[in-house]
Structure 1
Amino acid sequence: MRVLLTGSSGWLGRFLAPRLRAAGHEVTGLDVAAGIDTDVIGTVADRPLIDRLFAERGIEAVIHGGALHKPDIVRYPNQAFIDVNVSGTLNLLEAAVAAKASRFVFTSTTSLMISSAIREGQASAAVWIDESLAPLEPRNIYGVTKLAAEQICRLIQVEHGLPVLILRTGRFFPEEDDTHLALSGENMKANELLHRRLTVEDAAEAHLVALDRAPELGFGTFILSAPTPFVPGDVEELKADAPTVIARYFPDAADLYARRGWSLPGSIDRVYDAGHAERVLGFRCRTGFAEMLAALRQNAPLPVAHDPAYISPKE
């Protein structure tokens, strides 16, 4: 298929574009920054550019991964988030409908599911998060605009029948967390594989699966995260004493961590359940906490990318 990939110079794009081409797709990469997989430099907020790309490139499918993200809040005004994340998504959807494209995959975020109360860990138990969580009360302009874009995706699918799949990805960024600095970046990423992270390779593969399944499924929203070992019955103890719960599932985790000078999380305040993606989309992340521990046992390279010097190409 002739696929338009937005955000082609970004972290996901640099893994996704080669995978698409290897699968036999003809990819047009669109990004505001230059990159090896970017064919056209421009913004999704530019409707004439989007219309021209669909006409000139014969676009048959869209993977919309381009966006302003949470770290961009300190660099861009609210209006920029609306222009890119909301209006830009509408531009692509309407162009896809006009071109009679066969499918649309939207890269969303689990961040839009996290209210201020969840973020601050006010509950006495970890919050079990799946696609049924409601009401959704995003805590910042990033989450608000991504949720609005999801709703536009839903509306366009209802009104025009364009197959649309929404992928709410957990964390897969390579840089340091911009708010949690108590642990080293690799230690933090390892911990997050228990309940809120996936590898960028798994994120890219999920988009390939969604591209293939979209016409069959029609519409769907899916959380993407490494398979959690936990079950809903663990939520109270996870909040009060996470190491004890982790030890039940992974008896040698504490020792493996100690050898590296790492710390297990003392408390876990949320758990992303990616079971719906496995059951309906047919996708399950290959890498999780078990694979991280296997790497530690074997003194092998860690299965998550960590680059504290990473800077978004657009910056």
Structure 2
Amino acid sequence: MRILLTGSSGWLGRHLAPLLRAAGHQVTGLDVVAGPETQVLGSVANRAVVDRAMGFGIEAVIHTGALHKPDIARHPARSFVDVNVTGTLNLLESAKAAGCSRVVMTSSTSLMISQSIRDERGDAAVWLDESAGPLAPRNIYGVTKLAAEGLCRLFAEAHGLPGVVLRTSRFFPEDDDTLVRPSGENLKAIELLHRRLTVEDAARAHIAALDKAPALGFGCFVVSAPPPFARSDLAELKRDAAAVIARLFPDAPGLFAAKGWTLPRSIGRVYDPGLAEAALGFRCRTDFASVLDALREGRPLPFAHDPAYVSPMVRG
């Protein structure tokens, strides 16, 4: 298929475009900054730019471009509405007019986190899947991504344009912009237990969604590394996460200590990607066990970590 890929200069787009070509697709990249995978420069907030990109004979759209949570410090709320909401509407309208067969949109598990969940006020960790709600996003990023999801659903149901929304958990390579301890690779390794996936797995999930979209009509899926926990672990995860981890992975404490890492004292939420596995046939290849395997065998860690990473949009 001839695919329009938005956000083609970004972290996910740069990994996804080669996978699409390897699967036999032709890719036209659209981004606000130049990059090796980008052919059309401009913003999805500009309908003329979107229509120009669609003029490449596009048959399907993968929409990864967006303003993200760290952009809140750099952009006003209106910019989030322009890019994340109006931009998504532009793409859907243009895709419908062009007779596209499907749309896949990257969303975020962040929109599932209310302020109370963020503050971890409960006595147990929160189990989060597609049934979680009512949703009350805590910032403009989450609000606009939730609105964009609604537009995808509306176009599938009212206009017959199949769409799949992927609520991906974390896969950015840089350090967390709010947490100090643990940090770096230690934090990313821990997050693979409950709220992270690799960028490679995120790209693979989009390929799976592209294949399944017509049969699904519409679907919204959490995409994250499969957690090793059960719902019965939630109270103990909040109270003593290290004990749960040690029970499930007896050598984890020693492997972490040898690396100079720490295990978490508490885990406040767990993302469940089970529906994506059932409906899309997709399961992340990299999980917490993969990290422990790498530590045992002295291999490089199975995830990207780059504290100096700056997004192309910020550099531009």
Task: Calculate the TM-score normalised by the size of structure 1.
Answer: 0.99
Residues matched between the structures, number = 314
Cα RMSD for the two superposed structures: 0.6
User: In the TM superposition, what are the counterparts of 1:2-41 in structure 2 within 5 Å?
Assistant: 2-41=2-41
**Which residue in the other structure is 1:76 paired with?**
75
User: In the TM superposition, what are the counterparts of 1:164-179 in structure 2 within 5 Å?
Assistant: 164-179=163-178
| Maintained 8 Å contact 2:103/2:210 | yes
Q: Secondary structure in 1 aligned to 2:312?
A: coil
Q: Matched residues in 1 for 2:36 and 2:255: separation? A: 38
Q: Matched residues in 1 for 2:3 and 2:244: separation? A: 44
| Maintained 8 Å contact 2:166/2:223 | yes
Q: Matched residues in 2 for 1:285 and 1:18: separation? A: 18
Return the offset for 1:240.
Answer: 0.1
CA deviation vs aligned residue, 1:17-41 (integer Å, no higher than 9, x gap): 0100111111000000111111111
**Which residue in the other structure is 1:292 paired with?**
291
Q: Matched residues in 2 for 1:282 and 1:292: separation? A: 23
Q: Matched residues in 2 for 1:51 and 1:203: separation? A: 27
**Which residue in the other structure is 1:262 paired with?**
261
User: In the TM superposition, what are the counterparts of 1:68-217 in structure 2 within 5 Å?
Assistant: 68-217=67-216
Q: Matched residues in 1 for 2:204 and 2:83: separation? A: 25
Instruction: Name structure 1 gaps, 5 residues minimum.
Output: none
Q: Aligned AA for 2:22?
A: A
| Maintained 8 Å contact 2:176/2:183 | no
CA deviation vs aligned residue, 1:110-142 (integer Å, no higher than 9, x gap): 000000000011011000000000100000000
**Which residue in the other structure is 1:251 paired with?**
250
Return the offset for 1:52.
Answer: 2.2
Return the offset for 1:181.
Answer: 1.1
Instruction: Name structure 2 gaps, 5 residues minimum.
Output: none
CA deviation vs aligned residue, 1:181-226 (integer Å, no higher than 9, x gap): 1123100000000000000000000000111111111110000000
Task: Calculate the TM-score normalised by the size of structure 2.
Answer: 0.99
Runs of 4+ in 1 over 4 A off after TM superposition: none
Q: Matched residues in 2 for 1:139 and 1:127: separation? A: 16
Q: Aligned AA for 2:99?
A: K
Q: Matched residues in 2 for 1:298 and 1:164: separation? A: 42
User: In the TM superposition, what are the counterparts of 1:220-239 in structure 2 within 5 Å?
Assistant: 220-239=219-238
CA deviation vs aligned residue, 1:71-100 (integer Å, no higher than 9, x gap): 000000000000000000000001111111
Q: Matched residues in 2 for 1:279 and 1:208: separation? A: 15
Q: Secondary structure in 1 aligned to 2:313?
A: coil
Q: Matched residues in 2 for 1:41 and 1:50: separation? A: 10
